[in-house]
Amino acid sequence: MRNLLYVLLTLVVLTAGGVASETVAVMEGPASAGAGDTLLIGDTLVHLAGIDAPESDQTCTRDGETWHCGEAATEALAALVASGPVVCRDVVALSDGVARGHCVSGDVDLAERILAEGLAVVDGATDPAYGAAEAAARDAGIGLWAGEFMVPSRWREVAGCSCSARKKAYLEGFLSRKQADEAVTAN
């Protein structure tokens, strides 16, 4: 009985904390950008571990003008993954249906590159390269650091963004478009 209670308590603690439900060692394949820090590989959304990029509809300012920093981050990630397959390691499936992992395209660490371009901020990363990439972009005054921006996590709070729901909607829309394209191609 005590063992059963321990197992039940462990399950409650793990699910209440939103801890990962499943770990996949490696995920590989063609990818598309869902946001500046999120990829779609197959039918799985993978958040780039260690960074937080502006949401696709988030805006920032530079030189007194509004610019679409979220779109810029998404376009930058899309360009990085367009040339070939992406490999994600240490992939963890999160409780909201989105996975998280460290992803590369060729020899390019995608999270580090987006940080280096100034299009994301470090988010809990323990990789010293990530801190160095963000600091270099900040010191150079590029991307987000060229003007004023709200940290993406704060922007989501203010905007009332349900990003898990938004990412799932993106996935559903992407899959619908993909199925429609395949149906047209098959005819």
Per-residue pLDDT of the chain (187 residues; tens, 9 = 90+): 332 222 222 222 233 334 444 566 789 999 999 999 999 998 889 999 999 999 988 999 999 999 999 999 999 999 999 988 999 999 998 877 789 999 999 999 999 999 999 999 999 877 888 999 999 999 999 999 999 999 998 888 887 655 555 555 555 555 555 555 566 556 6
> Residue 49's pLDDT is what?
94
48: alpha, beta or left? (left if phi > 0; alpha if psi -120 to 50): beta
Q: Strands 31-35, 86-93: parallel, antiparallel or unpaired by DSSP?
A: unpaired
Whole-number pLDDT of residue 98: 87
**Could you give all domains of the chain from N- to C-terminal order, each with its CATH number?**
18-176 (2.40.50.90)
Q: What is the pLDDT of residue 155?
A: 86
CA 115, CA 184: separation in Å to the nearest integer? 38
Q: What's this model's pTM, rounded to 2 decimal places?
A: 0.75
Task: Pick the closest to residue 61 from 157, 134, 150 (CA basis).
Answer: 150
DSSP 3-state of 66: strand
Helix or strand or coil: residue 57? coil
How many Cα atoms are found within 13 Å in the side-chain-facing hemisphere of 10? 7
Q: Closest Cα to residue 113, out of 132, 100, 126, 98?
A: 132
